[in-house]
A = this chain, B = another copy of it.
Amino acid sequence: MKDKTFLMIPGPTPVPESVMLEIAKHPIGHRSTEFSAILENVYKNLKYVFRTENDVFVYTASGTGAMCAALENLINEGDNVLCLSLGNFGNRWAKIAESRGAVVEKIEVESGQVIDPEVLRKRLAEDTEKKIKIVTLTHSETSTGAANYVKTLCSIIREHGAISVVDGVTSVCAMECKPDEWGIDVLISGSQKGFMIPPGLSFLVANERAWKVYEQCKHPSFYWDWAAYRKSTRANSTPFTPAVNLFVGLNKALEMIKEDGIENMNERHRRHAMALRHAVKAINLELVVKDDKNASHSITSIYPPEGISVPDIRSTLKNDFDIVVANGQNKLKDKIFRMGTLGFVSDRDIITAVGALEATMKKLGHKFEVGKGVKTVIEELNQ
């Protein structure tokens, strides 16, 4: 039987049945009063989930679209942009900044590491002429599973007078992320992650400091233009034809998140990620992110043991247990595998995943005490 796939990749993530049933409805007119009422509810609930008083814009585009929507409304040719990179998605900020003609400088760390706030503080202190206008960073780096100290980093950036632009694609919903309270100037995220709907929508919230920089931007990109989105969002509309079905699904998913409570959702992700991490260690596998406090609560990256390949682990999990986990990206391809515990994931799913991982590793000849992973999960989840 082949129709029982369980996605444990960092996205798309599992979608609740009730959300899929909403998406399955025939599209309605996007300029109708019915759809406007849906948008009103969506925009209101997004402010709750993003913990912000600012408007949250919804783009019909994937997460990278929202990354472009951040930088393409801020950068002029020749601007200095500092990109703090933990991996593939940190590097994407740099590529987008370069595509706009910015002068880009990167602070990079090894896979699994995070940015040391003191390194950032030192670099910015050297920028005595205050040339650095924008600093980009990643909350949860999807390619490694490392998570930055966003609150600290953003406060250092603010002290310097630059704008912080944060990728929250796999953190919003999963990890505590408070743009207003923490002083994140621009925050983006994507739908197929913690939001529990399929890919195709992405989100952006900008504060007044970011708007001041926007006002100096010579050529904001038409499709992403903040001014158009602010005007439409405040009128419970969209500037261009939205992905109607995904919005209807989002409306349902946001209601579920609100009912659950965003703090509870954050805490559940933390418990799941920690239980998975500790189970992985209990079965003698090595984590890419060594320290719990540097770990994403939505993605866990794991090294295969000596002599067992990532493709074998992935295909055994897929063929024997219908569980899909992700390979590493770029230079990490076949070097690590990544398990997502993001969005619509229950305690049962973590037990299932660890049980299947144990069975897989046993089959492939890995040496460990079978059952110890699941035991760890059960004990941790019962805490």
A residues engaging B (CB < 8 A)? 5, 7, 9, 11-12, 14-15, 20-21, 23-32, 60-65, 67-68, 72, 77, 95-96, 99-101, 190, 192, 198-200, 218-223, 225, 239-246, 324, 326-327
Nearest B-chain residue to A17, judged by Cβ: B26
Asked if residues B199 and A27 are in contact (CB atoms below 8 Å), the reply is yes
Q: A199-B244, A218-B101 are in contact. Are A223 and B64 (CB under 8 A)?
A: yes
Asked if residues B198 and A243 are in contact (CB atoms below 8 Å), the reply is yes
Further 15 A-B residue pairs, CB within 8 A, beyond A27-B192, A99-B219, A99-B220: A9-B29, A9-B31, A12-B29, A24-B24, A29-B326, A62-B242, A63-B240, A65-B240, A68-B223, A99-B225, A101-B218, A192-B241, A200-B243, A221-B221, A245-B245
Asked if residues A243 and B240 are in contact (CB atoms below 8 Å), the reply is no
The number of times this chain is found in the oligomer is: 2
- Tell me which residues across on chain B come within 8 A of A21, comparing CB atoms: 24
CB of A237 to closest CB in B, whole Å: 13
Q: How far is the CA of A292 from the CA of B67 in the complex (A)?
A: 45
- Tell me which residues across on chain B come within 8 A of A77, comparing CB atoms: 219
Residue of A101, A200, A242 contacting most chain B CB atoms (<10 Å): A200
Asked if residues A245 and B198 are in contact (CB atoms below 8 Å), the reply is yes
Asked if residues A60 and B65 are in contact (CB atoms below 8 Å), the reply is yes
CB of A346 to closest CB in B, whole Å: 16
Asked if residues B60 and A200 are in contact (CB atoms below 8 Å), the reply is yes
Q: A101-B219, A219-B101, A240-B65 are in contact. Are A24 and B23 (CB under 8 A)?
A: yes
